[in-house]
Homo-oligomer: A and B are copies of this chain.
Amino acid sequence: MPTKKLYGGIEAGGTKFVCVVAGGPGHIVDEIRFMTTTPEETLGRAIQFFQPFVTSGQVSAIGVGSFGPLDLNPESSTYGFITATPKPGWSNTDVLGRLRRALKVNISLDTDVDVAGLGEYKWGASKGCDPSLYLTIGTGIGGGYIKDGKSLIGLLTLEMGHIRIPHSRELDPFFGICPFHGDCFEGLASGPAIEKRLGLTGAVVPENDPFWDIEADYIASALMNYILTLSPKKIILGGGVMQREFLFPKVRRRVRELLNGYVSSKIVLENIESYILPPGLGNQSGSLGAIALAMQIDEGNNDPRI
């Protein structure tokens, strides 16, 4: 049996980094996890991890899914940089350039949500569903849209967590915590918004708290908008907030109520249980997605993001 080809993947999170060398799911050759400290130290550890695999010729392509905001415009002078981020020390960090200069292999960079969406599309719950949508609802809210096998990047990367949705001040007097938009979707429904509103982290708010119906309504309103605007064939909901599994049936029910029969698809009207799903790769969507991105570099013999 021929040896399976290996790829490098980096899940570059604001809290921790996961670096893997793998041929795909179930074929992870090496893996390392460490806290995100300074760019110098953190990227240095990643480089150190991959160096022997690169030197021996085992790995010639690395995919990176990073926290942001990222500059992904190839014509920009700060292409491949983390730009103005609240993460201390990381503003204006040339992540892509730094890795490329040190490792001298093909490296492709995309947002954490795009890469997780790619992983789910390649091997997870949205496998082969094109177009598909991956949404994370956690510390922030962000979405990646996979179309023709690639993440969608337009004028800029997508920022769909910040859309405006109906917010009844009577039902929910909370003003929202987004520093830019107040009560946008992220400002109302992210993990920190839940914690600020209830004084408790979402992980411990009891399942029977009436707030969860309000949360499900916000998520469902946003999903309705994405469905009508992007028409995905599958929607994956990841992130810390969605760890509360009882949210899934609430959200599905509310999406169907809000659409009110308008989208004439059996998939949505009759089979919504398999339309809106948790990640199939669990907490590996990001790291395996980075492997999937590296495989695309290899297949296309260039950066799939350009």
Contacts and interface: CB of A to CB of B under 8 A. Distances in A.
Interface stretch (A57-65, A103-111, A157-165, A244-252): A157-165
For the residues of A in contact with B, the DSSP-based class is loop
Given A163-B229, A166-B165, A258-B181, A156 B224 contact: no
A261 interface: yes
Nearest to A228: B159
Given A159-B262, A225-B225, A264-B69, A231 B154 contact: yes
A155 B261 CA distance: 15
B231 A155 contact: yes
A166 B226 CA distance: 16
Given A155-B265, A263-B159, A267-B155, A230 B230 contact: yes
A305 interface: no
Contacts of A228: 158-163
Interface of A: 69, 83-84, 131, 143, 147-148, 152-167, 180-181, 221, 224-226, 228-233, 258-265, 267-268
Given A84-B264, A258-B164, A260-B180, A225 B232 contact: no
Contacts of A262: 159, 162, 180-181
B233 A155 contact: yes
A159 B155 CA distance: 22
B159 A230 contact: no
Given A163-B224, A263-B159, A264-B84, A231 B153 contact: yes
Contacts of A259: 180
Contacts of A156: 231, 263-265
Nearest to A165: B164
Contacts of A181: 258, 260, 262
24 contacts: A143-B229, A148-B148, A152-B230, A154-B230, A154-B232, A155-B231, A155-B267, A156-B231, A156-B263, A158-B231, A159-B262, A163-B225, A163-B229, A164-B166, A164-B221, A164-B258, A165-B165, A166-B166, A166-B167, A180-B260, A180-B261, A181-B262, A229-B229, A230-B230
